[in-house]
Amino acid sequence: MSETAGYENDKCEVRISPKCRKKEAGYQRRARYAQQGPWLPACEECARVPYEPPAQFQEKKEEDPAQGF
């Protein structure tokens, strides 16, 4: 009985890092948020990119009252 050896044939599907190798996907990562979306194969560079914080935790940009509407 032969088993596959791992991720040798998987390619990175996340592609969010400028250094993305687009191959050798030995990691799993969600594309945008840590708790939302499917797990995708990712290379090491893409797996190291920090997740985007959810909207409720992002800093809100205050509007400049001098600009008006």
The pTM (predicted TM-score) of the whole model is 0.64
In a domain, 36, yes or no: yes
Residue pair 32/49 in contact by the 8 Å Cβ criterion: no
In a domain, 56, yes or no: no
Helix (H) or strand (E) holding 41: strand 40-42
Domain that holds residue 10: 1-51
In a domain, 18, yes or no: yes
In a domain, 32, yes or no: yes
What gap in Å lies between CA 31 and CA 54, rounded to an integer? 13
Residue in 9, 4, 14, 24 with CA at minimum distance from that of residue 49: 14
pLDDT of residue 66: 64
pLDDT of residue 61: 64
pLDDT of residue 40: 92
In a domain, 10, yes or no: yes
Q: Extract the residue ranges of the chain whose pLDDT is less than 50.
A: 1-2
pLDDT of residue 2: 45
In a domain, 65, yes or no: no
**Total domains in the fold of the chain:** 1
In a domain, 28, yes or no: yes
